[in-house]
Amino acid sequence: MLHPLLIMTIGIVLVIFLIMKLKVNAFIALITAAMAVSLMAFDENPDTGKSELASNAISRVAEAFGNACGGIGIVIALAAVIGTCMMDSGAADRVVRAFMKLLGEERSPWALMGSGYILAVPVFFDTVFYLLVPLARSFYRRTGKSYLKCILAITAGGAITHTLVPPTPGPLTMAATLGIDLGKMIMVGAMVAMPAAIAGIWIAGLFDRMYNIEMREVVGHVEPEPFSDDELPGLCESLLPVVLPVIMIACHTAAGSIASMAEGDLAETAKGISHYTAVFGNPSFALLVSTMLALRTYVRQRKPSKEEVAKLVETSLMSGGVIILITAGGSAFGAMLKAAHVGDAIKNLAESTFGAGSVEGMLMLFLGFGIASVLKVAQGSSTAAMIITSGMMVGMIDGVDLPYDVVYLATAIGAGSLVGSWMNDSGFWIFAKMGGLTEKEALQTWTPLLVVLGVVSMIMTLILATVMPLT
């Protein structure tokens, strides 16, 4: 049986070779690598005690692919329709012009960063990017400049709170695993995240000047000509497809948080409310409502025929379908790396190197950062990297007298989960495909941007743990 870390290396090299050298479609490359890794991940025969080829080596790839589709398929498909409707109705254009009027044309990337920063707290990054990228595209159509800076600004704001600020699932799970007060996690996470987001804006501007990437057509969607002001819907109507699902999802999050933290009558009331918000605040339902609103605006503004509406929806779903396939393929690849026990191998390596109880002080923060980074590279999901690493670290800090509050260990792990994003990360593909960038361009921009976000977050963690230990 091959060592898990060798299996991981083979899988990574195979993906890179197929995509970069042979120009194989990303979905085919990821599924091929997932099956190759699964075939190498032997199972132990309970009768003989020997490692042998897993009988479900191929079927578990399909299962992981299906699970990923089940989790993101509806959301991505609906968000694709919302994005297209916002572009074609002029809603995205209206929002961009409102931003420009408020902040000035030169500060529009800051407006997009701030939007991503706020929206990614209750909503997955993938959905946030999907909802905001039409604004960046509309900005470029209007000004003809700073397209790359705008989409990277969305990334900077959205990715950083996605990994550091509850109630996003990753930070929320870390807080629960490490026994961190949720309010403290939100406060410290936001303090760590803001300087990183600002640094992200600076890097976004640098990359925009370095690569000068112009906006390109997204597969299946032709960009319309800019609208005149009298052809645009009102600002409130334009914002509603973006704001409403966030409010619906946030209401469920708030009800659940109150129910878990409160006591007595307040807790019972919150539990009763959360019973209903679990339905109406579900991301799939929230985005379905948003889709209906976006379609209504498109129909009211453009007055299309039924055939034109059907074509718009079909075209949107076709472009969204490609992204679903690639995203789920990346998730299946990551799941097979997990089946190969890559996480256990990393844990054992860390413990053999440092010892479970020998790493103290600031070094523990670096260990959490490093393990999360390696897991991110290995399986692609920041959320999974945070959950696995926090589970590993909770045992390693047992009996260790830390000179700072454990919340800083959580932010160090969150920072590490940003580092090393590449082709097995669903966010990578959503950024590349929805942004209209090639794989090479995404590796040149997206990947180093997230490294900067992670490193700056880690530096802020070290500073705050020193000057404000909260012990």
Please state the pTM of the whole predicted model: 0.68
Q: What is the DSSP string of 170-206?
A: HHHHHHHHHT--HHHHHHHHHHHHHHHHHHHHHHHHH
- Cis, bond preceding 167 (omega within 30 deg of 0): yes
Q: Which residues pair with 51 in a beta bridge?
A: 44
Quote the pLDDT of residue 357.
46
Chain centroid to CA 450: 11
The answer to whether the beta carbons of residues 95 and 238 sit under 8 Å apart is yes
DSSP E strand stretches across 103-176: none
288-297: string of b/e by CB count within 10 Å (b at 16+)? bbbbebbbbb
Residues 6+ away with beta carbon under 8 Å from 388: 343, 375
Residue 398 host element (H or E): none
Encoded tokens for 376: 């991110």
What is the C-alpha separation between 207 and 148, in angstroms, rounded?
A: 8
Classify 58 as helix, strand or coil.
coil
In a structure prediction context, what are the per-residue pLDDT tens digits for the chain, which is 471 residues long? 788 889 888 987 888 788 767 878 878 988 999 999 999 988 877 777 777 888 889 999 999 899 878 877 888 788 778 878 887 888 877 876 776 678 776 788 898 898 888 777 756 687 778 778 887 887 888 788 889 999 999 999 999 998 998 767 788 778 878 888 777 888 899 999 999 999 999 999 999 999 988 888 766 555 555 577 788 899 899 888 878 887 887 787 778 778 877 777 788 888 888 888 888 888 789 889 999 999 999 999 989 999 999 999 998 888 778 778 876 787 788 778 878 887 677 667 766 765 554 445 678 899 889 988 988 887 787 887 887 788 777 767 766 778 899 999 999 999 999 998 988 888 898 899 888 899 999 999 999 999 999 999 999 999 999 999 987
**pLDDT number for residue 460:** 97
Q: What count of Cα atoms within 13 Å lies in the side-chain half-sphere of residue 203?
A: 26
**Burial of 212 per CB tally in 10 Å (0-12, 13-18, 19+):** exposed
Distance between CA atoms of 316 and 337, rounded to whole angstroms? 32
What's residue 107's pLDDT? 82
DSSP per-residue string spanning 272-310: HHHHHHHHHT-HHHHHHHHHHHHHHHHHHHH---HHHHH
Q: How many helices (DSSP H) and strands (DSSP E) are in the chain?
A: 19, 2
pLDDT of residue 178: 87
Residue given tokens 């230990």 in the structure block: 469
> Which residue is listed with tokens 């779903």?
317
pLDDT at 358: 44
